[in-house]
Amino acid sequence: MSPKIVPWAVVAATLAGAAWFAAAMTVGGDRSALLIGETTDAHHQIELACETCHAAPAFASAAKAEKALNRACRKCHDKELKAADDSHPRRKFRNPRMAVYWEKLDARLCTTCHVEHRPEIVRASAVTVAMDFCVACHSEGDQDVRAERPSHAGLAFDTCASAGCHNYHDNRALYEEFLVRHAGEPWLADAPAHELSARQRVRKRPARAALARGDAVAPRAALADPAWLDRWADSGHAAAGVNCGACHAPKAGKNATRETVEASWIEAPGTAVCEDCHRPQARTFVLGRHGMRRHPRVAKPRDPLRQLRKIGLSEFVPETVALWLADPAPPTTMTVAEARIPMRSDAAHGTLDCGTCHTPHAVDVRHAAAEACASCHDDPHTRAYFASPHHALWRAELAGEAPPGTGVSCATCHMPKTERRGRIATDHNQNDNLRPNEKMIRPVCLDCHGLGFSLNALADGALVERNFTGTPAVRVESIGWATRRAQATKREAGG
């Protein structure tokens, strides 16, 4: 190649690249090369649906863009913050009387503490400011925590959230009154059991008759495999009277015959079939990390024709070219390989939908509650589970050697049971109580353990890694301090 061509080739290549990226930004196309940095936690699953967060119009002012970003945060996270009885709700800081704090730490905006695409400044819990941020408001004036609490006199502000005492948002198990109320509890309850789990395990089955192997209604070819048939016959579906057609031929209706089932038979039904019956589970599944790609708030792929109309180029670009510029179809499920936490390499190609944990023909919630998790997750906490006291309890319950609800599986803690309108269901938003781990105390830990033990155990990182095999080496002082302060207040009031 002539040396004279080199600058031209470089300029032509970069102009073509720039045009491609300009089209990707304004019309449609793969935008992964435009990502300026990794997103926090599980947001990487939706980071190419840019409009989910970047909802402001193009060339909007910085203030409008920031406002739109924060609105996007609230759209997805407001409910959980509300459920957590957020200690620092936005509404509190919108009050003009709090203006003095806006300059220090503008708590009206999520993006003050949580900035995306800046992996180099991400700290625990996706916080992107220094972890002693409490100092901004609680080190002087009325809000000075050391003024009323001598116990806090020598404490550094970076220990507020790291010592098991406080969280910025969720303090449901950490506030003073709660600590005092649960002070002195034994490490283990007299009859430790998860009440909702126990109630669910002994609940009565629906009145419909359980189905047996011979009741299966399906095309002959499908019935030819005895192994599948056996698995179905032993499954919860058969026990609940759910025949093959319910999933493989939903259009055939309830009183389907072999002919009608055969006519509308679907070989591999999608998750929509599961969602038809298991609505609470499906609703919560998309709120968690496993299913967040199908979260209702995630932006849909852009319509290139509409985008071209917006920038006034629809008349100049042929429709076929516009359609070629369309956003790549977003995957509806995450593969195990995409996870950014330690996972098993042999599970890399697995996708995350209902069938990943609940093998379709052997719907076994016992498998889904523990073994299914370990078939993908490969971190020390997961590996240690199978040698832990919790797993021993789980095995005892499965073997019928212990009462229902006494076993502790992965799902017991991470997908706890919830009760709504008298119906008990498993919360499939597995990160609802994941972090900070004190969120787990009220819905899970306190079923069996005292608050003091729970706080100590959850604050002991090494113990968590060993999946609670052993005793806590960390002692969280908050209960003692709260109790002494309450006693002192009582004495003052009495005297």
> Which has the closest alpha carbon to 110: 150, 81, 141?
81
Among 62, 207, 399, 493, binds another protein (CB under 8 A): 62
Cross-strand partners of 351: 335
Member of 5, 17, 226, 423 binding another protein (CB under 8 A): 17
Which is nearer to another protein, 53 or 415 (by Cβ)?
53
Of the ranges 133-141, 232-240, 350-358, 367-375, which one interacts with another protein (CB under 8 A)? Answer: 133-141
35 binds another protein (CB under 8 A): yes
Q: Which is nearer to another protein, 158 or 364 (CB)?
A: 158
**Do 412 and 268 touch, CB atoms closer than 8 A?**
no
Q: What are the Cα distances from residue 205, in Å, to 196, 202, 284, 490? A: 16, 9, 23, 52
208, 240 Cβ separation under 8 angstroms: yes
Say what the alpha-carbon torsion angle 438, 439, 440, 442 is, to the nearest 10 degrees: 100
Q: Which C-beta is closer to another protein: that of 68 or that of 486?
A: 68
Contact with another protein (CB under 8 A) among 41, 43, 44, 50: 50
Structure tokens at 124: 């625990």
CA–CA separation, 383 vs 92, rounded Å?
43
Site membership for another protein, residue 18 (CB under 8 A): yes
* Part in contact with another protein (CB under 8 A); list of ranges 57-65, 294-302, 392-400, 452-460: 57-65
Q: Which is nearer to another protein, 302 or 428 (CB)?
A: 302
Does 341 help bind another protein (rule: CB under 8 A)? no
Parallel/antiparallel/unpaired status of strands 423-426 and 417-420: antiparallel
- Reference 44, options 285, 339, 432, 294; nearest CA is 339
**Residues found in the chain:** 495
Tokens, residue 356: 């990943």
- The residues facing 343 across adjacent strands are 377
- Tell whether residue 141 is a contact of another protein (CB under 8 A): no
Stretch that binds another protein, among 124-132, 141-149, 429-437, 447-455 (CB under 8 A): 124-132
Window of 30-38, 190-198, 241-249, 284-292 that interacts with another protein by CB under 8 A: 30-38
Q: Which among 32, 43, 31 is positioned nearest to 295, based on CA atoms?
A: 43
In the block, which residue shows the tokens 């949580």? 114
Between 130 and 348, name the residue whose CB sits nearer to another protein.
130
**Closest distance between another protein and the C-beta of residue 119, in Å?**
9
Residue whose C-alpha is closest to residue 410's, from 435, 428, 422: 428
Tell me if 465 contacts another protein by CB under 8 A: no
Q: Which of 29-37, 202-210, 286-294, 484-492 is the region at the interface with another protein (rule: CB under 8 A)?
A: 29-37
Confirm if 198 and 190 have CB atoms less than 8 A apart.
Answer: no
Binding of residue 1 to another protein (CB under 8 A): no
- Read off the amino acid at residue 191: A
Q: How many residues bind another protein (CB under 8 A)?
A: 41
Q: Binding to another protein by residue 100, rule CB under 8 A? A: no
Torsion of CA 169, 174, 178, 182, to 10 degrees: 150
Applying CB under 8 A, does 21 fall inside the site for another protein? Answer: yes
Question: Quick one: which H or E segment has residue 418?
Answer: strand 417-420
For residue 459, with 0-12 CB atoms within 10 Å meaning exposed, 13-18 middle and 19 or more buried, which class applies?
Answer: buried
With CB under 8 A as the contact rule, which of the stretches 117-125, 172-180, 243-251, 300-308 interacts with another protein? Answer: 117-125
Q: How far is the CB of 458 from another protein (least distance, A)?
A: 24
Which residues between 438 and 457 bind another protein (CB under 8 A)? Answer: none
When binding is defined by CB under 8 A, the residue of 5, 58, 83, 263 that contacts another protein is 58
Under the rule (CB under 8 A), what is the footprint of another protein?
Answer: 3, 6-8, 10-11, 13-15, 17-18, 21-22, 25-26, 32-38, 50, 54, 58-59, 62, 105, 115, 118, 120-121, 129-133, 135-136, 157-158
